[in-house]
Amino acid sequence: MSQQTVHPGKPRVAVHKFSSCDGCQLSFLNLGEALLTLAERIDLVHFAEAGPLDPDTGVDVAFVEGSVSTPEDLERIQHIRAHSGLLIAIGACATSGGIQGLRNQAKGAEWVAQIYSHPEAIASLEHSTPISCHVKVDFELWGCPVSGPQILAVINALLLGVTPRDNTDKVCTECKRQGYPCVMVTHGIACMGPVTRAGCGALCPSLGRDCYGCYGPAENANTDALAIQFGHLGLTPAAIVRRFQSINSQAPVFLAAADKLRAG
Amino acid sequence: MTERRSVAIHVPVLARVEGEGALDLRIEQGDIAELRLRIFEPPRFFEKFLEGRHYTEIPDMVARICGICPVAYQVTAAQALEDLFGVELDPWARVMRRVFYCGEWIQSHSLHIHLLAAPDFFGCGNAIELARIAPDEVRRGLRIQGLGNELMDLFGARSVHPVGVRIGGFHGAPSLARILDMRDKLRAALPEAEALIRWAAAIPVPQDDQVFVSVATRHPADYAIERGDIGASDGLRIGAEAFDAHFIERHEPYSTALFSTYHQQPYLVGPLARLNLNHEYLPGAIRALLADIGLVLPSRNLFHSLLARAVEIWLALYEALRLLDGYRVPDSPWVPATPRAGVAIGCTEAPRGLLWHRYEMDDAGCVINARIVPPTSQNQGRIEEDLRLSLLNFGLDHPDDALRLHCEKVIRNYDPCISCATHFLRLNVARA
Ligand code: SF4
Ligand code: SF4
């Protein structure tokens, strides 16, 4: 099964999945024509959803989607790290623990017992954690999901032999660049844009709605100021906590903001 | 050949399905002693962490159950809640929900046909290999997939976890110029979809008729996608609220997906089940095409699933084009909603089949508890039954690799999205 043709000179690439919705891998499968071009430029060694299966051969670059959430995951991520040159975590699940990180505030075992009649058969760790909790990660791409252009930019940088870059600015700067009216100023909507990392192109404000933070925290995010502003807009403390506790609830900056509010 | 082998096949990681699963097969004295499809996608506990969340957050949260069919989750949840809150959608929004949903069918079906299922039938390990021998067909498939994505972008700004649905309609409405451009593309895609159907119909498939019950949403006005009652091929017709009286979910210790049964038996949901039940709602042009290629419906052969997806791509393109005729930008893309305590229930046809949601809500509009029954867990029992029958029909004396490939083809007919239930086949064959 692992009879892969080896193309000397082409970088060997793997895409691995952990606990996730498969949405970030779709950023590859949705590339259209660019996917076929890409497939000629790299040697796709392992990408289960697309077909090639060979998790054991060493690769130059491994993309990892998903969070670590089972005992088996703990071993698998070590194995992948040991067999990969660069390891790139893609998406909210892999960079912050993802939406399933919401379980970290609860009693995972009780939840298992409430859903499954054979809870003993469900191997699930108490916490859903990002890849960087377990192994060295060389580069992180945030977003739920990461976009096709983000993925292509990273691969192109690697093919050119330069260090990939990612925008760590705020969604607000993208709104301004695109000329979208601020939803908070004009409609009083509690928008997470001021603390959320850029990258999506301010999609939510483009539709006149609030950003809900799916790209995770921006650098130098002032969550205190935003929480105060949300209060002025009429949100209850519980509602403000929910704003920070959503897709990237375990990102340290968002978690700290929520904990501070919970402590009152 | 007649040697009575005892073999255990373990298909460790099933490629080209979404999620993770494995198959254990034990053959003793030339008969199947054990067959288990194990789904071990780690549980993500959506139903639990929805508890306490405000109704306005639900569409964005449930989308994350599945990156391939987020629209299904968003629309099902929104409509269940709108129903409970007594929200009457603007006719514009009602129609555009169907158009938006068509985008997801087109994207998901084309991805499945070209990137996941078709390589099997051409002896290719994956779509990249298939693209070397059938470049035009694969490129056509990718174009159609891309068009589905564009249709979702129109209403949701992106196709994976779109951000446009809100309770009461959509957050924003696309401009007329964008719709006119889309209409041109849809019109141009219809002949491509027809060529896709003819290509799919020419792929030789095994003759493998089986007896099973098809279950799908049905609606008196059209080929049900985003609304309707629940119907079954034995004549059942019930409202979504009566689901629990006829369908039961149970947990098998070897899987993280729950299994559903209908009156104690496995049943089929998805494109073939829909065609079986709703084919008379297909437009005349496509029925003539189906007669021409010789597809007789209802079909008992699950190997018609790939063709069924191709037919539904054509239908979704046709419907989107039809419904965007005379498009106008609405005064407001949404109407306000006021929460109400009670139970919100709704169902729609996700690309992989019936999707059922139930939310118990408090009077502040927060979730007390939630239950979501995705298509893959409904099909899981049927897949096991199919594998058993199909393997016996195929012959157990084939070498392990041939058995494995056959099992994978059977499983991929259902396009199991193992993320929603749960992705991979580990086939363990034990022969004794
Ligand atoms: S980050 Fe979001 S889109 Fe990506 S796998 Fe996780 S849930 Fe899916
Ligand atoms: S605006 Fe915010 S929530 Fe919306 S897509 Fe961008 S980062 Fe995600």
Mean predicted lDDT score pLDDT of chain B = 90
In chain A the first and final C-alpha atoms are separated, in Å, by 57
In chain B the first and final C-alpha atoms are separated, in Å, by 15
Is residue A200 within 6 Å of ligand 2 at its C-beta? yes
Contact residues on chain A for B67, CB-CB shorter than 8 A = 20-26, 145
Is residue A211 within 6 Å of ligand 1 at its C-beta? no
- When CB atoms are compared, the residue of B125, B159, B258 closest to A30 is B159
CB pair distance less than 8 Å for A200 and B158: yes
Greater pLDDT, B296 or B22:
B296
**From CA B353, how far away is CA B380, in angstroms rounded?**
12
Q: Read off the pLDDT band of B1 (50, 70, 90).
A: very low
B131 in reach of chain A (CB within 8 A): yes
- When CB atoms are compared, the residue of A23, A52, A208 closest to B126 is A52
CB pair distance less than 8 Å for B160 and A30: yes
Q: Which ligand is nearest to the CA of B62?
A: 1
Q: Which ligand is nearest to the CA of A172?
A: 2
Q: Is the pLDDT of residue A114 over 80?
A: no
pLDDT tens profile A66-98: 999 888 899 999 999 999 999 999 999 999 999
Q: How far B58 CA sits from the closest chain A CA (Å)?
A: 11
pLDDT tens profile B247-261: 998 777 666 667 789
For residues A222-248, average pLDDT: 97
**From CA A91, how far away is CA A43, in angstroms rounded?**
22
B422: closest chain A residue by CA: A21
Q: How far B389 CA sits from the closest chain A CA (Å)?
A: 26
CB pair distance less than 8 Å for A32 and B145: yes
Is residue A89 within 6 Å of ligand 1 at its C-beta? no
Q: Read off the pLDDT band of B377 (50, 70, 90).
A: confident
Task: Tell me what pLDDT residue B431 has.
Answer: 66
Burial label, A61 (beta-carbon count in 10 A; 0-12, 13-18, 19+): buried
Residue boundaries of the structural domains of chain B: 7-43+398-431, 46-379
Q: Read off the pLDDT band of A111 (50, 70, 90).
A: low
Q: Is the pLDDT of residue B228 over 50?
A: yes
**C-beta of residue A145 within 8 angstroms of C-beta of residue A27:** yes
pLDDT tens profile B154-184: 999 999 999 999 999 999 999 999 999 999 9
For residues A243-260, average pLDDT: 97
CB pair distance less than 8 Å for A106 and B44: no
Q: pLDDT > 70: what percent of chain B?
A: 89
Tell me the range of B123-137, B340-354, B399-413 where mean pLDDT is highest. Answer: B340-354
Contact residues on chain A for B251, CB-CB shorter than 8 A = 115-118
User: What separation in Å is there between the alpha carbon of A40 and the centre of ligand 1?
Assistant: 27
| Total residue length of chain B | 432
CB pair distance less than 8 Å for B128 and A44: yes
Type of residue numbered B289: L
Picking from A20, A33, A157, A130, the residue whose alpha carbon sits closest to that of residue B160 is: A20
Task: Tell me what pLDDT residue B46 has.
Answer: 86
Q: How far A163 CA sits from the closest chain B CA (Å)?
A: 27
Contact residues on chain A for B15, CB-CB shorter than 8 A = 48-53
Q: Give chain A's domains with CATH numbers.
A: 12-159 (3.40.50.700), 171-263 (no CATH)
Is residue A151 within 6 Å of ligand 2 at its C-beta? no
Q: pLDDT > 90: what percent of chain B?
A: 71
- When CB atoms are compared, the residue of B45, B129, B258 closest to A100 is B45
* Ligand 1 nearest-atom number relative to CA A91: 1
Q: How is residue A162 written in tokens?
A: 């330069």
Q: Is-cis flag, bond preceding B283, omega within 30?
A: no
Is residue A189 within 6 Å of ligand 2 at its C-beta? no
Q: Which of A1, A13, A30, A35 to mutate to test the interface with B (most CBs of B within 10 A)?
A: A30
**What is the value of ipTM here, to two decimals?**
0.93
pLDDT tens profile B280-298: 999 999 999 999 999 999 9
DSSP at A100: G
Q: What sign does the dihedral A85-A91-A96-A100 (CA atoms) show?
A: negative
For chain A, the 3-state helix, strand and coil shares in percent, each to the nearest 5, are: 45, 15, 45
pLDDT tens profile A174-215: 999 999 999 999 999 999 999 999 999 999 999 999 999 999
| Total residue length of chain A | 264
Is residue A97 within 6 Å of ligand 1 at its C-beta? no
Of A35-49, A244-258, B21-35, the range with the lowest mean pLDDT is B21-35
**From CA B398, how far away is CA B406, in angstroms rounded?**
10
Q: Which of A21, A209, A240 to mutate to test the interface with B (most CBs of B within 10 A)?
A: A21
A107: closest chain B residue by CA: B48
Q: Read off the pLDDT band of B267 (50, 70, 90).
A: very high
**From CA B263, how far away is CA B248, in angstroms rounded?**
8
Q: Which ligand is nearest to the CA of A64?
A: 1
CB pair distance less than 8 Å for A30 and B252: no
Q: Is the pLDDT of residue B104 over 90?
A: yes
Contact residues on chain B for A102, CB-CB shorter than 8 A = 45, 49
Q: How far B179 CA sits from the closest chain A CA (Å)?
A: 16
Whole-prediction pTM? 0.93
Strands B367-373 and B353-361: antiparallel
Task: Tell me what pLDDT residue A198 has.
Answer: 96
B contact residues 68-97, partner A, Cβ 8 Å cutoff: 68, 70
User: What separation in Å is there between the alpha carbon of A169 and the centre of ligand 2?
Assistant: 13
Neighbours of A187 (CB within 10 A): 12
- When CB atoms are compared, the residue of A106, A128, A242 closest to B53 is A242
B18 in reach of chain A (CB within 8 A): yes
Class of domain B46-379: mainly alpha
Q: How is residue B265 written in tokens?
A: 């038996």
Is residue A145 within 6 Å of ligand 1 at its C-beta? yes
CA torsion angle A5 A6 A12 A15 (round to 10): 20
Mean predicted lDDT score pLDDT of chain A = 90
